[in-house]
Structure 1
Amino acid sequence: MGMMKRFDERADLMGRMMRTVGAADGMPADVTLGNTLRSAAQRCLGCEKPEACSHWLDDHQDGAARAPDYCPNADLFAEWSARAQG
Structure 2
Amino acid sequence: MGFFNRSEKHGDLVGAMMDRTGALDDERILRLSDSVLRTAWFRCQGCRQADACAEFLETGDADAPTPDYCQNKALMDSLAR
Shared fold (TM-score greater than 0.5)? yes
Does the 8 Å contact 1:28/1:80 carry over to 2? no
Structure-2 residue corresponding to 1:78: 77
Runs of 4+ in 1 over 4 A off after TM superposition: none
Unaligned stretches of 5+ residues in structure 2: none
Partner Cα separation in structure 1 for residue 77 and residue 29 of structure 2: 11
Work out the number of aligned pairs and report it. 79
Identity of aligned residues (%): 37
User: TM-score, normalised to structure 2's length?
Assistant: 0.84
Partner Cα separation in structure 2 for residue 28 and residue 65 of structure 1: 24
Structure-2 residue corresponding to 1:27: 29
Structure-2 residue corresponding to 1:64: 63
Amino acid paired to 1:54: A
The C-alpha deviation readout for 1:20-40, integer Å capped at 9, x for no partner, is 1223342352xx610000000
Partner Cα separation in structure 1 for residue 63 and residue 51 of structure 2: 18
Does the 8 Å contact 2:21/2:79 carry over to 1? no
Unaligned stretches of 5+ residues in structure 1: none
User: TM-score, normalised to structure 1's length?
Assistant: 0.80
Partner Cα separation in structure 1 for residue 64 and residue 51 of structure 2: 20
Amino acid paired to 2:62: G
